[in-house]
């Protein structure tokens, strides 16, 4: 990752974080579909990043969101879990020739089918941990799965829209 990519990554995280904090806090479609659009930031980190910095970055981002939501530890725990699963899931999804060195796992570079099969299970895992921790001892398991399923679909739709609107398509080969 060169310096320019780093700057644009930090900007992306800042914008997504602000959007999450200011607009999505109390948004829940039909009371069950929440949106965690800041996960796009974690999901689009370049492929060659090592596991340790990825875990630390995700934990940090989750913690910052938590401070604004007054749910200290909730987003951090779920985001760390997502970051832990990401390398293994990427290994499973590896195409025949392996990944290009400088690719980013984004919609534009990998195509919509790959992106959905990459991000939907990860977002679902995030939501599952998030709602299990949130409803600990109060909600039912069916309720948790229900919320997780619809939240991950809603988040995925918003993630695709964000990438279509704001991510640059790479020119040439």
Partner 1 sequence: MLRILQFLYSLRSFLLFVLLEVLAIWLLVANNSPQGAAFFNSSTSMVGSILETQSDVRDFFSLAEANEALVGENSRLMEQLKSLKTDPDSVELTLDSALSSQFEFLGARVISNSLRYAQNHLTLNKGSEQGVKPGMGIFNESGVVGRVKSVSKNYSVGISLLNNDLLISSIIKSTGDFGSINWDGKNSQTAKLLYVPRHVNAQVGDTIVTSGYSAVFPRNINIGVISNVIQSGDPNYLDIEVALTTDFSKVSYVYLVENTEIEELDSLYQQSEITNEF
Task: Catalog residues that contact partner 1 under the rule CB under 8 A.
Answer: 21-22, 25-26, 28, 31, 34, 50-52, 55-56, 59, 62, 66-74, 76-77, 80-81, 83-84, 87, 133-139
Least separation in angstroms between CB 71 and partner 1: 7
Residue number, 25 or 170, with CB nearest to partner 1: 25
Least separation in angstroms between CB 76 and partner 1: 4
Query: Quick one: three-class SS letters along 81-115?
Result: HHHHHHHHHHHHHCCCCCCCCCCCCCHHHHCHHHH
Residue number, 52 or 142, with CB nearest to partner 1: 52
The H or E element spanning position 163 is helix 141-166
Residue number, 81 or 154, with CB nearest to partner 1: 81
List all residues 6 or more positions away from 106 whose beta carbon is below 8 Å from its beta carbon.
Answer: 44, 115, 163, 167
Q: How far apart are CA 126 and CA 153, in angstroms?
A: 12
Residue number, 116 or 133, with CB nearest to partner 1: 133
Residue number, 77 or 153, with CB nearest to partner 1: 77
Least separation in angstroms between CB 29 and partner 1: 11
List all residues 6 or more positions away from 2 whose beta carbon is below 8 Å from its beta carbon.
Answer: none
Least separation in angstroms between CB 78 and partner 1: 8
- 123 neighbors 156 (Cβ within 8 angstroms): yes
Least separation in angstroms between CB 38 and partner 1: 15
Burial class (CB in 10 A: 0-12, 13-18, 19+), 173: exposed
């Amino acid at each position: 990752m060169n310096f320019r990519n780093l700057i644009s990554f930090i900007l992306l995280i800042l914008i997504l974080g602000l959007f999450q904090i200011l607009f999505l806090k109390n948004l829940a479609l039909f009371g069950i579909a929440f949106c965690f659009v800041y996960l796009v930031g974690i999901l689009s980190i370049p492929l060659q990043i090592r596991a340790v910095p990825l875990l630390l970055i995700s934990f940090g981002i989750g913690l910052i969101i938590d401070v604004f939501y007054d749910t200290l530890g909730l987003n951090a725990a779920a985001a760390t879990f997502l970051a832990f699963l990401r390398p293994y899931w990427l290994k499973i999804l590896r195409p025949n020739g392996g990944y290009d060195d400088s690719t980013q796992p984004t919609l534009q570079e990998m195509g919509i089918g790959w992106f959905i099969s990459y991000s939907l299970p990860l977002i679902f895992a995030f939501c599952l941990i998030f709602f299990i921790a949130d409803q600990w001892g109060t909600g039912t398991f069916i309720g948790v799965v229900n919320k997780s399923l619809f939240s991950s679909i809603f988040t995925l739709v918003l993630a695709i829209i964000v990438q279509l609107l704001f991510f640059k398509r790479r020119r040439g080969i």
